[in-house]
Chain A
Amino acid sequence: PGRDAPAQSRSNRTFSMLEYVLACLCRSRPHELVGVVGLEIHAQIQSNTKLFSGSKVGFSAPPNSLVSFFDASLPGTLPVLNRRCVEAAVMTALALNCTINKKSFFDRKHYFYADLPAGYQITQQRRAVAVDGQLAYSLLGGRKRNQIQSRTVRIKQIQLEQDSGKSLHDDQRSQTLIDLNRAGVGLMELVMEPDMSCGEQAAAAVRELQLVLQALGTCQGNMSEGQLRVDANVSVHRPGEELGVRTEVKNINSARFLSRAIDYEIQRQIEALGRGEAVLNETRTYDSKSGFMPEPNLPPLVVYEDRGSVPAGLLGAEGVVVLEGLREGLPELPSVKRARLVRSYGLLPEHSFTLVNEDGLMEYFEAVVKETRKEPRKLIGWVTNELLGHLKHHNLSVSKCPVSPSALAELLELQEAGHISSTVAKQVASLSPSVCDSVSLSVSVRALQEGNKKVLNRLMGLVQKETKGRADPVLVRSLLEEKTS
């Protein structure tokens, strides 16, 4: 069961070569095999309770402590749908321009697995709550990675379904330990059409989806905690010809690994076909349409367009979902945020892309802008190149940045006024330990200036030694100062 993950053992150099080759293939070369990637994404709904029961949704709780009788599928229990989960699915669908099915149905998908106590999963196979949407995403391309490429991927449908429990395999004692805390948690399954052709596009689409879900508050989108699970369906074909045999890449817990795993699989299939071998579909040995039946305990889910279309008896009851209210209440989506940044601060699209892409960077930037009279366009390079670059180098998130926005603003004001050179400013921004330990910025700036003076004096000494005291000290000093500022 399951694909192994060999991609992690490859060296970085091999991968950048691979990515370059595949990037070339992504552009149209009609006789070459290109990859076709479709994603199935399971997003755990951010709610207090589970989809069909009133037990708590939580992470890292003692095993089987967040389990109700229904979750354990004890006889005599029935599902009761959580209104928050319906709203979350509908809001996500509205943000992705989907058509909402005013009436959708629940089904049972039967299969035997120990972490599925009922023997079936309640899902929406016949008629999902939303269909036909699209997700617009961007890639930073070009040689300097500063050109925005905009793409879209179609969303086939968004459906509500139950999550299963967790199983831990204890091979030594030949047993499997089951924890049902996650059993019954609400999931939104987003099925995307195969509109992508390589790992980079898939990773960018997933990143954009994460930002959308986080902005909406419908899913926290943390891949490493399993809140966002991505399965990729990968095949290769020649453009214009019919699609090849699909294989699935599953169990991906980071966007970067997603990109590599997909590219590895595309390459593997291309090589196999090149050797004359067929691509084997290992995971699907059953017709995936089998094992479905309508859920007899749940009537159709009805969502109303506006308060006017709600039947009289139900108005005022809290058990009603109305689209009008949800549409109006949608928060600012990432794409709107980026456009706003470009407009208000006169930034380039690639700058706003980076600001929104990094958690907390936009807020940091806006705080710096507030504290200084400098033009935002002149500040952006410091934030997106210098500061972010150093944060990444030290493996820090923006929230853990030791230089506060006001400190950075002060630093840049000093640099603008010519009190310090840009080298010194860059050194401060490089977050070296001496800076991080300083109590105040002016202290650290002075320390660096003094430090640099010491270096300058040492260099002077060396030059005089080399020239055996024959160099003009004033000239040497001015030359050295020029070089080190």
Chain B
Amino acid sequence: MLGIHQIYGRRRVQLNIILPLLCRYYYASRTDNMLSTNVKTLRKTRNTPSRPVTVARLYSSNKHNSKVPKVPTWEPLGEDRIPSLPQVSSDLVDKLERLALVDFRTKEGLVCLERAIRFADHLNMVDTTGVEPMDSVLEHGQLFLRGDTVTEGDCAEKLLPLSNTTVEEYFVAPPETFHFQGGRTESVHVKHSEF
């Protein structure tokens, strides 16, 4: 989704407003599919429950208090209210491919990109005036500071086997990963001896 941010700038929205909106859109499309499918087929699917599931905590005296509203408290957004999509230029596709390291220059790829952008466009319809962007759920918490004593490390024998290739206790990376990245240019080259 980093690519989407590049186009539309960063809009960060309180999660408790946007989640129901996205869920509504998602579930709306799913319900349509369910209605058109044979109920028998549905039962055959292993992961889909055949009746509503009730959650119960066996040893709790409180009833389970679900935060999910039982009735929708939001309004579905008509497709026409979303502003129209600007053209995705070739330069933009180039930049996205480089950032994401994914090739999607095919027709299907571009269609998929446009639909993904359209999906994310719902975010633009949310009114965020006076709402401070949230960084994380921890943002009002206290950052714990650790004392400066050595407590870990010295586990090369556990880390090196995690890699496919190692050379004498070094990890190995193929040279193709060294295009320009982040402006770093340290280059130390190994000198080869006869041994």
> Is A263 in contact with chain B by the CB < 8 A criterion?
no
B189 touches A169 (CB 8 A): yes
| A148 CB, min distance to chain B CBs, angstroms | 36
Please state if A299 and B139 are interface contacts (CB–CB under 8 Å). yes
Question: When the two chains form their complex, are residues A67 and B153 in contact, meaning their CB atoms are under 8 A apart?
Answer: yes
Tell me whether B102 is interfacial, beta carbon within 8 Å. Answer: no
B172, A175: Cβ atoms closer than 8 Å: yes
Q: Report if A301-B143 is in contact (Cβ < 8 Å); known contacts: A54-B153, A56-B150, A296-B136.
A: yes
The B-contacting residues of A in range 211-245, CB under 8 angstroms, are none
Interface residues of B in 138-194 (CB under 8 A from A): 138-156, 159-160, 162, 167-175, 177-178, 180-190, 192
Complex: A67 Cα to B158 Cα, angstroms: 10
Give the CA-CA distance A64 to B162 in the complex, in Å. Answer: 13
On whether A302 and B187 interact (CB within 8 A), knowing A65-B154, A84-B148, A114-B173, the answer reads: no
Contact A174 B150, beta carbon cutoff 8 Å: no
CB distance from A342 to the nearest CB of B (A): 37
Q: In the complex, which residues of chain A have a beta carbon less than 8 angstroms from the beta carbon of B154?
A: 55-56, 65-66
Is there an interface contact between A55 and B152, defined as CB atoms closer than 8 Å?
A: yes
Residues on A with C-beta less than 8 A from B71 are none
Give complex CA distance A261, B40 in Å. 77
8 Å CB contact of B173 from A71, A86, A176, A302: A176
Q: Is B135 an interface residue (CB 8 A)?
A: yes
> Would you call B189 and A170 a contact (CB within 8 A)?
yes
Tell me the minimal C-beta distance from A150 to chain B in angstroms.
Answer: 33
Q: Name the contact of A168 in the complex, choosing from B141, B170, B183, B184 (C-beta under 8 A).
A: B170
The smallest C-beta distance from B160 to any residue of chain A, in angstroms, reads 7
Q: Does A250 contact B (CB under 8 A)?
A: yes
**B-chain residues with CB within 8 Å of residue A69 when the two chains form the complex:** 152, 155, 159
B53 touches A (CB below 8 Å): no
Interface size on B, residues (CB 8 A): 50
B35 near A: Cβ within 8 Å? no
Given the complex, which residues of B lie within 8 Å of A81, measured CB to CB?
A: 143-146
Which residues of the other chain, B, contact A177 by a CB distance below 8 angstroms?
167, 170-172, 190
* Interface-lining segment among A198-206, A317-325, A366-374, A425-433: A317-325
Chain A residues positioned under 8 Å from B150 (CB to CB): 48-49, 54-56
- A167, B192: Cβ atoms closer than 8 Å: no
Chain B residue with minimal CB distance to A50?
B153
Nearest opposing residue in chain A for B141, CB measure: A299
Q: In angstroms, how far is the closest chain A Cβ from the Cβ of B87?
A: 21
- Contact (Cβ within 8 A) B188 A285: no
Chain B residue contacts of A170, Cβ below 8 A: 189-190, 192
Is B6 positioned at the interface, with any CB of A under 8 Å from its CB?
yes
Pairwise interchain contact B170-A64, C-beta atoms closer than 8 A: yes
B56 at the interface (CB under 8 A from A): no
Q: Are A48 and B159 in contact (CB under 8 A)?
A: no
Report if A114-B177 is in contact (Cβ < 8 Å); known contacts: A319-B146, A320-B145.
yes
A70 vs chain B, min Cβ distance (A): 8
Q: Count of A-B contacts with CB under 8 A?
A: 190
Closest B residue to A52 using CB positions:
B146
Contact A298 B149 (CB under 8 A): no
In contact, A318 and B147 (Cβ under 8 angstroms): yes
Q: Kindly list chain B residues whose C-beta atoms are within 8 Å of the C-beta of A179.
A: 170-171
Q: Does A377 contact B (CB under 8 A)?
A: no
When distances are taken between beta carbons in the complex, the residues of chain A under 8 Å from B2 are 110, 291
| A74–B142 CA distance with the chains assembled, in angstroms | 25
Residue of B nearest to A164 (CB): B184
Using C-beta atoms within 8 Å of the partner chain, give the interface range for chain A.
35 or more
The B contact surface, by secondary structure, is loop
In the assembled complex, B58 has its CB within 8 A of some CB on chain A? no
Per the 8 Å Cβ criterion, residues 320-362 of A in contact with B are: 320-321
CB proximity to A under 8 Å, residues B1-27? 2, 6
Is B101 part of the contact surface with A, judged by Cβ < 8 Å? Answer: yes
Contact A48 B183 (CB under 8 A): no
- Distance (Å) between the CB of B71 and the closest chain A CB? 32
Q: Are B169 and A64 neighbours in the complex by a CB distance under 8 Å?
A: yes
Q: Which residues of B sit under 8 angstroms from A392, Cβ to Cβ? A: none
Cβ contacts A254-286/B at 8 Å (1 or 0 each) = 000000000000000000000000000001110
- Give Cα A314–Cα B142 distance, bound, in whole angstroms: 10
Asked whether, in the complex, the Cβ of A1 is within 8 Å of the Cβ of B185, the reply is: yes
- Which residues from B are CB-within-8-Å of A174? 174-175
Determine the distance from Cα of A306 to Cα of B181 in the docked complex, in whole angstroms. Answer: 42
Q: Name A80's contact: one of B142, B144, B172, B184 (CB within 8 Å).
A: B144
Q: Which residues of A contact B156 (CB under 8 A)?
A: 62-65, 67
A43 contacts partner chain B, Cβ-Cβ < 8 Å: no
Mask of A108-136 contacts with B, CB within 8 angstroms, 1/0: 01111110000000000000000000000
Asked if A288 is at the interface of the complex by the 8 Å CB criterion, the answer is yes
Give Cα A446–Cα B126 distance, bound, in whole angstroms.
94
- A54-B169 contact given A82-B146, A168-B190, A169-B190, CB 8 Å threshold: no
Q: Does A159 contact B (CB under 8 A)?
A: no
Min CB distance, A52 to chain B, in Å? Answer: 9
Residues A302 and B186 in contact in the complex (CB < 8 Å), given A62-B169, A63-B169, A175-B175: no
Complex CA gap A83/B139 in Å reads 19
Please report the C-alpha to C-alpha distance between residue A54 and residue B186 in the assembled complex, in whole angstroms. 26
Instruction: Give the chain A neighbours of B141 by CB distance below 8 A.
Output: 299
A299 with B140: CB separation less than 8 A = yes
CA distance A171 to B168 in the complex (A): 17
> Which of A48, A74, A300, A302 meets B149, CB within 8 Å?
A48
Apart from A168-B188, A168-B190, A178-B172: 12 A-B pairs, beta carbons within 8 A: A2-B186, A56-B150, A63-B156, A67-B156, A80-B144, A81-B146, A112-B177, A167-B188, A172-B190, A174-B175, A177-B170, A295-B135
Contact sample, A vs B, 17 pairs, CB 8 Å cutoff: A2-B185, A48-B148, A48-B150, A64-B159, A65-B153, A65-B156, A66-B153, A67-B153, A80-B146, A113-B182, A114-B177, A169-B175, A180-B171, A290-B6, A299-B141, A302-B143, A321-B145
Shortest beta-carbon contacts, A-B, top 5:
A2-B185, A55-B153, A114-B173, A111-B182, A54-B151
